[in-house]
Structure 1
Amino acid sequence: MSDSDTLTPYARTIGIRHEGDEDGAPVLAFEFTGDVEGRPQHLHGGATSGLLETAGYALLRRELSRLDRTHRLKPINITVQFLSAGKQRTTYAKGRITKLGRRNANISVEAWQDDRDRPIATAIMNIMMAEPED
Protein backbone atom coordinates (compact mmCIF):
# COMPACT_ATOMS: atom_id res chain seq x y z
CA MET A 1 0.00 0.00 0.00
CA SER A 2 1.40 3.35 -1.02
CA ASP A 3 0.49 6.44 1.00
CA SER A 4 -0.13 8.38 -2.20
CA ASP A 5 -2.63 5.72 -3.33
CA THR A 6 -4.79 5.77 -0.22
CA LEU A 7 -4.27 9.00 1.68
CA THR A 8 -6.17 12.21 1.00
CA PRO A 9 -4.42 15.59 0.84
CA TYR A 10 -5.88 16.32 4.31
CA ALA A 11 -4.39 13.11 5.73
CA ARG A 12 -0.98 13.89 4.26
CA THR A 13 -1.18 17.46 5.57
CA ILE A 14 -1.55 16.35 9.19
CA GLY A 15 1.12 13.68 8.77
CA ILE A 16 -0.92 10.47 8.60
CA ARG A 17 1.17 7.61 7.26
CA HIS A 18 0.82 3.90 6.60
CA GLU A 19 2.60 2.28 9.54
CA GLY A 20 2.17 -1.34 8.46
CA ASP A 21 -0.43 -4.08 8.25
CA GLU A 22 -2.06 -6.19 10.93
CA ASP A 23 -4.40 -9.08 10.14
CA GLY A 24 -4.65 -7.83 6.56
CA ALA A 25 -5.73 -4.32 7.63
CA PRO A 26 -3.65 -1.17 7.25
CA VAL A 27 -2.48 0.46 10.48
CA LEU A 28 -2.21 4.22 10.09
CA ALA A 29 -0.41 6.62 12.42
CA PHE A 30 0.68 10.20 12.96
CA GLU A 31 3.06 11.97 15.30
CA PHE A 32 2.00 14.64 17.74
CA THR A 33 2.93 18.05 16.31
CA GLY A 34 1.57 21.57 16.52
CA ASP A 35 -0.55 20.75 13.45
CA VAL A 36 -2.66 18.27 15.46
CA GLU A 37 -2.64 20.03 18.84
CA GLY A 38 -5.95 21.14 20.31
CA ARG A 39 -5.80 22.38 23.86
CA PRO A 40 -2.21 22.68 25.09
CA GLN A 41 -0.33 19.35 24.96
CA HIS A 42 -3.34 17.34 23.76
CA LEU A 43 -4.56 16.05 20.41
CA HIS A 44 -7.27 17.97 18.61
CA GLY A 45 -10.48 15.96 18.32
CA GLY A 46 -10.71 16.74 14.61
CA ALA A 47 -7.26 15.27 13.97
CA THR A 48 -8.20 12.15 15.92
CA SER A 49 -11.44 11.88 13.95
CA GLY A 50 -9.55 12.37 10.70
CA LEU A 51 -7.19 9.52 11.56
CA LEU A 52 -10.11 7.22 12.40
CA GLU A 53 -11.97 8.08 9.20
CA THR A 54 -8.85 7.70 7.05
CA ALA A 55 -8.11 4.27 8.56
CA GLY A 56 -11.67 3.12 7.89
CA TYR A 57 -11.63 4.23 4.26
CA ALA A 58 -8.15 2.75 3.69
CA LEU A 59 -9.38 -0.62 4.92
CA LEU A 60 -12.55 -0.51 2.81
CA ARG A 61 -10.68 0.52 -0.34
CA ARG A 62 -8.20 -2.31 0.20
CA GLU A 63 -10.95 -4.90 0.64
CA LEU A 64 -12.89 -3.68 -2.39
CA SER A 65 -9.72 -3.79 -4.48
CA ARG A 66 -9.02 -7.33 -3.28
CA LEU A 67 -12.53 -8.30 -4.39
CA ASP A 68 -12.04 -6.46 -7.71
CA ARG A 69 -14.97 -4.14 -6.93
CA THR A 70 -15.02 -0.48 -7.89
CA HIS A 71 -17.36 1.90 -6.08
CA ARG A 72 -17.69 5.54 -5.17
CA LEU A 73 -17.69 5.69 -1.38
CA LYS A 74 -20.19 8.02 0.26
CA PRO A 75 -20.51 8.40 4.02
CA ILE A 76 -23.96 7.73 5.44
CA ASN A 77 -22.92 8.25 9.06
CA ILE A 78 -19.67 8.43 11.00
CA THR A 79 -19.90 8.43 14.78
CA VAL A 80 -16.79 9.09 16.88
CA GLN A 81 -16.58 8.33 20.57
CA PHE A 82 -13.74 10.00 22.48
CA LEU A 83 -12.64 7.77 25.35
CA SER A 84 -9.64 9.65 26.74
CA ALA A 85 -7.50 12.65 25.82
CA GLY A 86 -4.77 12.04 23.27
CA LYS A 87 -1.35 13.01 24.61
CA GLN A 88 1.92 14.13 23.01
CA ARG A 89 2.85 10.80 21.40
CA THR A 90 2.29 8.72 18.30
CA THR A 91 -1.34 7.82 17.64
CA TYR A 92 -2.34 4.68 15.68
CA ALA A 93 -5.62 3.54 14.13
CA LYS A 94 -6.91 0.34 12.57
CA GLY A 95 -10.32 -0.58 11.20
CA ARG A 96 -12.38 -3.75 11.00
CA ILE A 97 -15.16 -4.37 8.51
CA THR A 98 -18.20 -5.61 10.41
CA LYS A 99 -20.44 -5.91 7.34
CA LEU A 100 -19.70 -5.68 3.64
CA GLY A 101 -22.77 -5.84 1.45
CA ARG A 102 -23.41 -4.99 -2.18
CA ARG A 103 -24.30 -1.35 -1.47
CA ASN A 104 -23.32 -0.65 2.15
CA ALA A 105 -20.40 -1.28 4.46
CA ASN A 106 -20.14 -0.99 8.23
CA ILE A 107 -16.70 -0.43 9.72
CA SER A 108 -15.46 -0.04 13.28
CA VAL A 109 -12.16 1.75 13.91
CA GLU A 110 -10.03 2.17 17.03
CA ALA A 111 -7.31 4.72 17.77
CA TRP A 112 -4.72 4.16 20.49
CA GLN A 113 -1.39 5.48 21.68
CA ASP A 114 0.76 3.52 24.16
CA ASP A 115 -1.53 0.58 24.84
CA ARG A 116 -3.53 -1.08 22.08
CA ASP A 117 -5.98 -2.41 24.68
CA ARG A 118 -6.79 1.16 25.85
CA PRO A 119 -8.15 3.05 22.84
CA ILE A 120 -8.38 6.83 23.06
CA ALA A 121 -11.23 6.97 20.50
CA THR A 122 -13.43 4.71 18.40
CA ALA A 123 -15.57 5.27 15.32
CA ILE A 124 -18.44 3.49 13.65
CA MET A 125 -18.69 4.20 9.92
CA ASN A 126 -21.66 3.44 7.67
CA ILE A 127 -20.62 3.86 4.04
CA MET A 128 -22.71 3.66 0.89
CA MET A 129 -20.95 2.13 -2.08
CA ALA A 130 -22.37 3.65 -5.27
CA GLU A 131 -21.67 2.47 -8.79
CA PRO A 132 -18.73 4.34 -10.34
CA GLU A 133 -19.54 7.17 -12.73
CA ASP A 134 -18.29 6.77 -16.27
Structure 2
Amino acid sequence: MSERLALLMNSPYVRRLGVRFDDHGDELTGILPYADTLVGNPLIPALHGGAIGAFMEITAAAGLLAASDLAALPKPIDVSIDYLRPVRPADVYARAAITRQGSRVSNVRVEAWQERRAAPVAALHGHFLVKPAGGER
Protein backbone atom coordinates (compact mmCIF):
# COMPACT_ATOMS: atom_id res chain seq x y z
CA MET A 1 0.00 0.00 0.00
CA SER A 2 1.42 3.37 -1.00
CA GLU A 3 2.15 5.99 1.65
CA ARG A 4 -0.61 8.26 0.27
CA LEU A 5 -3.16 5.46 0.19
CA ALA A 6 -2.21 4.64 3.79
CA LEU A 7 -2.76 8.32 4.68
CA LEU A 8 -6.25 8.15 3.14
CA MET A 9 -7.04 4.88 4.92
CA ASN A 10 -5.94 6.25 8.29
CA SER A 11 -8.13 9.35 8.14
CA PRO A 12 -10.76 9.37 10.89
CA TYR A 13 -13.55 9.73 8.31
CA VAL A 14 -12.52 6.61 6.38
CA ARG A 15 -11.93 4.64 9.59
CA ARG A 16 -15.36 5.68 10.98
CA LEU A 17 -17.10 4.36 7.87
CA GLY A 18 -15.01 1.18 8.04
CA VAL A 19 -14.01 1.36 4.37
CA ARG A 20 -11.36 -1.09 3.27
CA PHE A 21 -9.87 -2.14 -0.07
CA ASP A 22 -9.16 -5.46 -1.71
CA ASP A 23 -6.47 -5.48 -4.38
CA HIS A 24 -6.79 -8.11 -7.13
CA GLY A 25 -4.12 -7.63 -9.77
CA ASP A 26 -4.67 -4.18 -11.26
CA GLU A 27 -8.18 -3.76 -9.78
CA LEU A 28 -8.83 -2.10 -6.45
CA THR A 29 -12.25 -2.93 -4.99
CA GLY A 30 -13.63 -0.77 -2.20
CA ILE A 31 -15.71 -2.43 0.49
CA LEU A 32 -18.16 -0.62 2.76
CA PRO A 33 -19.07 -3.17 5.45
CA TYR A 34 -22.66 -3.04 6.63
CA ALA A 35 -23.24 -1.35 9.99
CA ASP A 36 -26.53 -0.40 11.66
CA THR A 37 -25.27 3.20 11.90
CA LEU A 38 -25.29 3.46 8.09
CA VAL A 39 -29.06 2.92 7.80
CA GLY A 40 -30.76 6.13 6.71
CA ASN A 41 -34.31 4.87 6.41
CA PRO A 42 -35.16 2.13 8.92
CA LEU A 43 -38.63 1.62 7.40
CA ILE A 44 -37.30 0.19 4.10
CA PRO A 45 -34.45 -0.34 5.46
CA ALA A 46 -31.91 1.33 3.21
CA LEU A 47 -28.42 2.70 3.74
CA HIS A 48 -28.07 6.48 3.87
CA GLY A 49 -27.25 8.10 0.54
CA GLY A 50 -24.59 10.28 2.19
CA ALA A 51 -22.71 7.21 3.37
CA ILE A 52 -22.88 5.71 -0.13
CA GLY A 53 -21.73 8.98 -1.73
CA ALA A 54 -18.84 9.33 0.74
CA PHE A 55 -17.82 5.72 0.12
CA MET A 56 -17.73 6.27 -3.64
CA GLU A 57 -15.73 9.49 -3.25
CA ILE A 58 -13.21 7.64 -1.06
CA THR A 59 -13.04 4.88 -3.70
CA ALA A 60 -12.36 7.47 -6.42
CA ALA A 61 -9.53 9.01 -4.40
CA ALA A 62 -8.06 5.58 -3.67
CA GLY A 63 -8.24 4.67 -7.36
CA LEU A 64 -6.32 7.82 -8.28
CA LEU A 65 -3.72 7.18 -5.56
CA ALA A 66 -3.24 3.57 -6.67
CA ALA A 67 -2.90 4.46 -10.35
CA SER A 68 -0.69 7.55 -10.06
CA ASP A 69 2.30 8.87 -8.17
CA LEU A 70 0.70 11.87 -6.49
CA ALA A 71 2.33 14.35 -4.12
CA ALA A 72 -0.91 14.91 -2.18
CA LEU A 73 -4.36 13.44 -1.69
CA PRO A 74 -6.74 14.17 -4.60
CA LYS A 75 -9.19 16.98 -3.88
CA PRO A 76 -12.73 16.81 -5.27
CA ILE A 77 -13.65 19.69 -7.58
CA ASP A 78 -17.14 18.48 -8.37
CA VAL A 79 -18.95 15.21 -7.88
CA SER A 80 -22.20 13.98 -9.39
CA ILE A 81 -23.94 10.93 -7.93
CA ASP A 82 -26.74 8.87 -9.44
CA TYR A 83 -28.65 6.80 -6.90
CA LEU A 84 -30.04 3.95 -8.97
CA ARG A 85 -31.85 1.78 -6.40
CA PRO A 86 -32.22 1.47 -2.61
CA VAL A 87 -29.10 0.10 -0.95
CA ARG A 88 -30.11 -2.84 1.21
CA PRO A 89 -28.58 -3.44 4.67
CA ALA A 90 -25.59 -5.43 3.40
CA ASP A 91 -21.99 -4.79 2.34
CA VAL A 92 -21.46 -2.46 -0.63
CA TYR A 93 -18.62 -2.77 -3.17
CA ALA A 94 -17.20 -0.21 -5.59
CA ARG A 95 -14.55 0.20 -8.27
CA ALA A 96 -13.12 3.35 -9.76
CA ALA A 97 -12.25 3.85 -13.42
CA ILE A 98 -10.08 6.82 -14.32
CA THR A 99 -11.54 8.21 -17.53
CA ARG A 100 -8.93 10.96 -17.93
CA GLN A 101 -5.67 11.48 -16.07
CA GLY A 102 -4.44 15.03 -16.53
CA SER A 103 -1.55 16.92 -14.99
CA ARG A 104 -3.93 18.97 -12.80
CA VAL A 105 -7.41 17.46 -13.11
CA SER A 106 -8.50 13.84 -13.36
CA ASN A 107 -11.95 12.49 -14.23
CA VAL A 108 -13.12 9.42 -12.37
CA ARG A 109 -16.20 7.20 -12.60
CA VAL A 110 -17.17 4.88 -9.74
CA GLU A 111 -19.85 2.21 -9.72
CA ALA A 112 -21.15 0.71 -6.48
CA TRP A 113 -23.04 -2.57 -6.22
CA GLN A 114 -24.09 -5.19 -3.71
CA GLU A 115 -24.75 -8.75 -4.91
CA ARG A 116 -24.08 -8.32 -8.64
CA ARG A 117 -21.73 -5.87 -10.28
CA ALA A 118 -24.07 -5.84 -13.28
CA ALA A 119 -26.79 -4.30 -11.05
CA PRO A 120 -25.20 -1.12 -9.66
CA VAL A 121 -26.90 0.68 -6.78
CA ALA A 122 -25.16 4.03 -7.41
CA ALA A 123 -22.68 5.70 -9.74
CA LEU A 124 -20.36 8.67 -9.25
CA HIS A 125 -18.70 10.89 -11.82
CA GLY A 126 -16.18 13.32 -10.43
CA HIS A 127 -13.40 15.72 -11.26
CA PHE A 128 -10.46 15.77 -8.86
CA LEU A 129 -7.58 18.18 -8.48
CA VAL A 130 -4.35 16.20 -8.52
CA LYS A 131 -0.75 17.13 -7.88
CA PRO A 132 1.67 14.65 -9.48
CA ALA A 133 4.83 13.91 -7.50
CA GLY A 134 7.77 15.85 -8.80
CA GLY A 135 5.50 18.41 -10.51
CA GLU A 136 5.96 22.13 -10.00
CA ARG A 137 3.01 23.95 -8.40
User: Which of the five TM-score ranges fits, normalised by the shorter chain?
Assistant: 0.7 to 0.9
Number of residues of Structure 1 aligned to a counterpart in Structure 2: 130
Deviation of residue 23 (structure 1)?
A: 5.5
Inter-partner Cα distance in structure 1 for 2:97 and 2:25: 10
Inter-CA distance 37–82: structure 2 relative to 1 (3 Å threshold):
same
Identity of aligned residues (%): 29
List alignment gaps of at least 5 residues for structure 1.
none
Deviation of residue 130 (structure 1)?
A: 4.1
SS of aligned partner of 1:29: strand
* Equivalent pair of 1:109/1:124 in contact (CA under 8 Å): yes
* Equivalent pair of 2:94/2:112 in contact (CA under 8 Å): yes
* Equivalent pair of 1:25/1:96 in contact (CA under 8 Å): no
Match for residue 20 of structure 2?
Answer: 17
- Root-mean-square deviation (CA, aligned residues, Å) is 2.3
Inter-partner Cα distance in structure 1 for 2:75 and 2:6: 20
Task: After TM superposition, list the pairs within 5 Å mapping 1:70-81 onto structure 2.
Answer: 70-71=71-72, 73-81=74-82
Match for residue 33 of structure 1?
Answer: 35
- AA of the residue aligned to 1:14: L
From 47, 55, 61, the equivalent of 1:57 is 61
Match for residue 103 of structure 1?
Answer: 104
Inter-partner Cα distance in structure 1 for 2:55 and 2:93: 8
Inter-CA distance 23–79: structure 2 relative to 1 (3 Å threshold):
farther
SS of aligned partner of 2:90: coil
Inter-partner Cα distance in structure 2 for 1:31 and 1:73: 24
Deviation of residue 25 (structure 1)?
A: 3.0
* Equivalent pair of 1:93/1:109 in contact (CA under 8 Å): yes
Report Cα offsets for 1:2-30 as digits up to 9, x if no partner: 77443232121011111x12451321112
Deviation of residue 74 (structure 1)?
A: 2.3
